[in-house]
Chain A
Amino acid sequence: MALLEVRDLSVVFQRRGERPFTAVDGVSFDVEPGQTVGLVGESGCGKSVTSLAIMGLLAKRGVKISGSAKFDGTELLSLSDRQMRDRRGRDLGMVFQDPLSSLNPVVSIGLQVTEVLERHRDMSRKQASVEAAELLEKVGIPDPKRRLSEYPHQLSGGMRQRALIAIALACRPRLLIADEPTTALDVTIQAQILALLADLVRDTETALIMITHDLGVVAGLCDEVNVLYAGRVVERAGRHDLFRVPRHPYTHGLLASIPRLDAPRGERLSPIKGSVSDNIPWTTGCAFAPRCPNALDTCVQVTPAMEPDPVVAGPRLLRCHNPVEPATAAEQEIMS
């Protein structure tokens, strides 16, 4: 049994006086124990909302969540607030995008680490302090004892994200969700943080959901990748399969837009044309159709279903009427 089984997860925002907005639309995926799974897609495709729904961190009012998220056999979506609070920080940890705003500016780093140990591991403040220093050391923060009494503004961006990782892993959760953990960091620091995360989840056998808009981040880290578009998973494959032969036109476009090592960094090579505002609703066809170079007439009439890839072998699922031909995909790969 998978550690986390997400089935048909949907999140609809319903504000009074506004039309309901479906941010996550029937998302399903599994995370095996110790496995690293990527959720990839452009900004606004529902990655954060998916993870917040799993964590029980979405507002109670104005939000409708349906479907299922089973953790180790327990349905998370039907747990009470108290039961969910007992699990968060203990079984499920989370690291967020912006390390500065994610740390409380008026509480010492030490207390922000120890409070989670006191909460879930029954430690006294003193025991927790010792443990906190060890945790900070483990995530590569130099002089951890002194850091305990410091405040977030006294740490650099990379150090802050390390501290947040230490906090999220303090109670040895079995699942860590990292929501764009490197997006707010300098390029040189990004690689260090990714390497740290990879090391930590390997050493502690923690399962990781890696959320990013950057397929390059996924490349070195994930066992399996889910590509999201407009709230739905459009392609799922193992990392190697996905990179070698991207089949969905959207995945293909994302890959083409990754800056290569031999190209100047930060330069988008061939961005996908158009933007999410061009989408059509999934109910009337493929949401990506207005931007898709492969679009057929059926694409705006029939909603593509998530199905095994009919051409390329391997455990891949696709939501597309007219996938990118494996040959062209390979050629593109070589050419770029």
Chain B
Amino acid sequence: MLRYTIRRLLQLLIVVGVLSLLLFAWLRSLPGGPVSALLGERATTESRARLTEELGLDQPIFVQYFKFVGRALSGDFGVSTGVQPGDSATEIFLQRFPATLELSFLAIVIAVAVGIPLGYLAARRRGGWLDNLSVVSSLIGVAVPVFFLAFLLKQVFAVDLGWFPTAGRQEGGIDATRVTGFFVLDGILTQEWDAAWDALVHLILPAVALSSIPFSVVFRITRASVLDVVDEDYVRTAESKGLTTPVIRRRHVLRNAMLPVVTTIGLQTGALLAGAVLTEKVFAFPGIGQALALGFERRDYPVLLLLILCAAGVFVLINLLVDLSYALIDPRIRTRGGGR
């Protein structure tokens, strides 16, 4: 298991390395560029040339790349030109990455906490009203665009009803101590309960919007998987032993039914990141989604590079975690090679 983990981590490094090269080349091949974005279309040729030189964009691309790699290895990813001009890309990353992780984590928690029990119940009462209702709502969940759902939730629950804030991560008036950059966690660690609560309240609507697709997928995979598992011979064996329903449900049905669900959750992290870009825009949520959108608009090469590389890294890491937890639930994988 350890060797497997190490091998996967090495793979991660290679993926990030190759991706950095491709990204670097791709970003520079896009029309426009940071200079036009900063100076506008009507700037003089002279001032454009000066800025191009200042940013090092006049040099051959492979020189730029090796300079980037050299600096990146010492932790310097350059200075933002568009998202927060003047701030270092690393700084922007450290501000925004926890925001998006916090948001995505809550979205996944909602998707799992609602999707799995609902999937189980729907399967057990197949064809009942709960089943039909949740199948339909999961279809709507994947069909409705995330930004539209985000917009709708914001309009109804934030603007009209006023139950939730309309934008941001935390009210400006709150004096919160920063520890990790995860606002809810910070509030709990420092026991600033009002700060934690306020951060959580800001998260809820965007997290619900963001959870719509992972919820639908988790729900449907759970339902299908439970329907498969309840017909398995070993569930009948468990029944023939007279075990109580909760034990059969937990130990014999869910433990097996969770295998495909765990894989799904890993695959959903990619979709989650895409959804985060749109959700964060609607709720003016200062995460990496918002920074990516802004970064593309303004061709902010350093910020885009760092954020996309980190997003890819997180995606690979989460899939590694999924594989490891899969092995934890499924002894057939864990004992591979060890058994007969």
Q: Choose from B234, B241, B242 the contact partner of A105 (Cβ within 8 Å).
A: B234
The CA-CA distance from A153 to B335 in the complex, in Å, is 9
The reply to whether A106 and B329 form a contact with Cβ atoms under 8 Å apart is: yes
The reply to whether B239 and A88 form a contact with Cβ atoms under 8 Å apart is: yes
Q: Which residues of B contact A119 (CB under 8 A)?
A: 241-244, 247
The chain B residue sitting closest to A111, CB to CB, is B251
B220 at the interface (CB under 8 A from A): no
The CA-CA distance from A19 to B252 in the complex, in Å, is 33
Interface string of A38-78 (1 = CB under 8 A from B): 00000000000000000101000000000000000000000
Band of interface residues on A = 35 or more
Stretch from A92-100, A193-201, A267-275 forming part of the interface with B:
A92-100
The chain B residue sitting closest to A88, CB to CB, is B242
B256 at the interface (CB under 8 A from A): yes
The reply to whether B237 and A164 form a contact with Cβ atoms under 8 Å apart is: yes
Q: Choose from A98, A103, A111, A120 the contact partner of B242 (Cβ within 8 Å).
A: A120
Q: Choose from B241, B251, B252, B259 the contact partner of A167 (Cβ within 8 Å).
A: B241
The reply to whether B339 and A102 form a contact with Cβ atoms under 8 Å apart is: no
Q: Which residues of B contact A94 (CB under 8 A)?
A: 237, 240
The chain A residue sitting closest to B243, CB to CB, is A119
Q: Choose from B243, B252, B329 the contact partner of A116 (Cβ within 8 Å).
A: B243
The CA-CA distance from A106 to B244 in the complex, in Å, is 19
Q: Which residues of B contact A103 (CB under 8 A)?
A: 234, 237
A260 at the interface (CB under 8 A from B): no
Q: Which residues of A contact B339 (CB under 8 A)?
A: 150-151, 153-154
Q: Which of A55, A93, A102 has the most chain B CB within a 10 Å cutoff?
A: A102
The CA-CA distance from A119 to B335 in the complex, in Å, is 29
Band of interface residues on B = 20 to 34
* A244 nearest CB across to chain B (Å): 35
The chain B residue sitting closest to A90, CB to CB, is B242
Q: Which residues of B contact A167 (CB under 8 A)?
A: 237, 241
The CA-CA distance from A216 to B242 in the complex, in Å, is 32
The reply to whether A105 and B332 form a contact with Cβ atoms under 8 Å apart is: yes
The reply to whether A102 and B234 form a contact with Cβ atoms under 8 Å apart is: yes
The CA-CA distance from A88 to B240 in the complex, in Å, is 6
The reply to whether A101 and B232 form a contact with Cβ atoms under 8 Å apart is: yes
Answer whether A107 and B251 are a contact pair too, CB < 8 Å, given A151-B339, A156-B340: yes
Q: Which residues of B contact A87 (CB under 8 A)?
A: 242
A278 at the interface (CB under 8 A from B): no
Q: Which of B234, B237, B238, B255 has the most chain A CB within a 10 Å cutoff?
A: B237
The chain A residue sitting closest to B330, CB to CB, is A106
The reply to whether B233 and A105 form a contact with Cβ atoms under 8 Å apart is: no
Interface string of B317-340 (1 = CB under 8 A from A): 000000000000111100100011
A89 at the interface (CB under 8 A from B): yes
* B99 nearest CB across to chain A (Å): 37
The reply to whether A85 and B242 form a contact with Cβ atoms under 8 Å apart is: yes
The chain A residue sitting closest to B247, CB to CB, is A115
Q: Which residues of A contact B331 (CB under 8 A)?
A: 105-106, 108, 151, 153
Closest A-B pairs by Cβ, 3 of them:
A88-B242, A89-B242, A154-B339
Give residues in B with beta carbon < 8 Å to A.
232-234, 236-244, 247, 251-252, 255-256, 259, 329-332, 335, 339-340
Known: A103-B237, A115-B247, A164-B237. 4 other contacts (CB 8 A): A85-B244, A116-B241, A116-B243, A120-B242
